[in-house]
Every structure is written in C-alpha cells, then in structure tokens.
Amino acid sequence: MGKRPGLLYEALQRFDSLMALGQSRADAKAQAHARGERFWSFSDGKMHSYQTRATYQDMVMRFLRWCRATYGTKRLADVDQRAGRLQPLDPGHRAQRLTALLRVPTPG
C-alpha cells in the first residue's frame, strides 16, 4: 500500500470533513439572518444529514470511478484543478465537453 490515499479514499475523507452532525442547520441559518445576511436558499457549506451525504457520495463516487477508468486520474487534486472550468453544459454537448475538460495529460 502506498503512502498517499487513493482517489476514492481522498473523496471519503473530504466528505467526512464536510459532515456537521449534531449541529443545527436551522441555528446556522438564524445566525446568518441575525448578521443581516439575506438569501433565497441557505447553505453553510456543511452536510447535516446522512441522507444528504449518501446522495452526494453516490454521485461523486460514480463520477470519480469514471474519471479513473477513462483518464487514469489518481488524485482528487487533479479533479479539483479542472473543477473551476466546469460550467452548465448544453445537454447536446455534455459528453464532448466533459471529455475535453477532464482529460488528464499523458506523460511524454
């Protein structure tokens, strides 16, 4: 086994860091309102529910497995690096656009 965590394990570690079990989303929202923040929908950037995590984790893990199988992506940092270039895609061009954005350069 290597010294660095693999792609999927890194993603699980990130999910662990985003969990806010025992913290009230309603309390965080009330505190934001008290500070004068106004918003249509509210997120404190954390997940407060196991079901939310399960839903997102399923989608993310399938995507990362696809990245690994298709492009040989081994590190979550490689995916993070390209995430800023992702944008809402026209359904007709989705596959081509994703392929171009997520292409991992081959050595040499």
The residue range of the domain holding 10 is: 1-36+44-75
The C-alpha angle 101, 106, 108, rounded to 5 degrees, equals 140
- Least Cα distance to 61 among 5, 7, 108 occurs for 7
pLDDT, tens digit (0-9, with 9 covering 90-100), for 52-86: 889 989 988 998 898 888 888 899 998 888 876 65
Give the up-direction half-sphere exposure of residue 91: CA atoms within 13 A in the CB hemisphere. Answer: 0
Residue 76 contacts residue 17 (beta carbons within 8 Å): no
How confident is the model at residue 26, as a pLDDT? 77
25 within some domain: yes
Collapsing DSSP to helix, strand or coil, 34 comes out as: helix
51 within some domain: yes
pLDDT of 15 > 50? The answer is yes
97 within some domain: no
71 within some domain: yes
19 within some domain: yes
Phi, psi angle pair for 19, to nearest 5° = -75, 140
Provide the number of structural domains found in the chain. Answer: 1
How confident is the model at residue 106, as a pLDDT? 44
pLDDT of 102 > 60? The answer is no
94 within some domain: no
12 within some domain: yes
How confident is the model at residue 4, as a pLDDT? 85
103 within some domain: no
- Least Cα distance to 105 among 83, 77, 63, 73 occurs for 73
Average pLDDT across the chain, whole number = 77
How confident is the model at residue 12, as a pLDDT? 93
